[in-house]
Structure 1
């Protein structure tokens, strides 16, 4: 078993991932499988993968900020973000403007920002950032704009793979193997 799956990154992908200081994530279809569960009262539920949560926590511990950005108003996404200590921006109609504002607030250039998304609303952000990421099951029109695509589908560990990629490119993987920081 290969303990470090990202040992043979292309030089371009290595450089892009090494520069990342902020990861912005779409929610529906990226952190979830894209299905929306609504009960008879209209209450929404979603499933989140624990591996994705762990990946986001590891990135934060490595000094990389993580923000969830979704077009939907989502109390469920806010709850997940609260559990992980991650900011959630919901009801965002223009994700690129939100990404640009977050980068500016942190004094970052867009080359220091990664964005992971799965569908057309994510394209402007994917095309603007330094590292464009997509889950394995992203819509083909979206996937073609990604610098990297996970092997896992959205909601099934795709975000964890992206987090691991960034950590590996920055040489930060080994520090998490002793168990004291996970």
Structure 2
């Protein structure tokens, strides 16, 4: 916790909604395609624990993805999150989510990894990127995780948010 307190996210105690991109945040941004065309991704189980820790802080969470593959919804269902996927405009979708949840944009944390996340990040009060995000997204981020996408990004974020609230994980 000491290391996180030193490099945490100033003001993070105000976060009321976390919005995650899926590919490149909850996954390592790679896809496995079998001979029948079925796609699979890899997710880190510690991120499921991170989702629960963030939930225990009373923070709402949503996955927002352009991906149309049902794997997004399947993973969201597994970890108990709402998923909005198959959308083209993440910026507009983020505005709609904040309104739907009655949360000010200044209380929204968005975490994304690539240029299609830039509009949503621009609207969010808090901007987070995985260590291996695109350079343009890293430049926008208020906080860059030490973990690359798919390797515990959400778990690390849970520690950051917990530390911001003066709690221990």
Cα deviation 1:106-164 (Å, max 9, x = unaligned): 21111100000000000011111111000000011111000000011000011211222
Partner SS for 2:109: strand
Matched, 1:6 2:4: yes
How much has 1:9 moved relative to structure 2?
Answer: 4.2
How much has 1:169 moved relative to structure 2?
Answer: 0.7
- In the other structure, the counterpart of 1:120 is 115
Q: Structure 2 CA distance, aligned partners of 1:150 and 1:75?
A: 27
How much has 1:4 moved relative to structure 2?
Answer: 4.4
Q: Which structure 2 residue ranges, 5 or more long, are not aligned?
A: none
Does the 8 Å CA contact 1:49/1:156 hold for their aligned counterparts?
yes
Does the 8 Å CA contact 1:135/1:159 hold for their aligned counterparts?
no
Q: TM-score scaled by structure 1?
A: 0.88
Q: Which structure 1 residue ranges, 5 or more long, are not aligned?
A: 177-182
- In the other structure, the counterpart of 1:55 is 50
Matched, 1:161 2:156: yes
Partner SS for 2:10: helix
Q: Structure 2 CA distance, aligned partners of 1:83 and 1:127?
A: 29
Q: Structure 2 CA distance, aligned partners of 1:124 and 1:163?
A: 24
Q: Structure 1 CA distance, aligned partners of 2:95 and 2:162?
A: 23
Partner SS for 1:14: coil
Paired residues in the alignment total: 169
Calculate the aligned-residue CA RMSD, in Å. 1.4
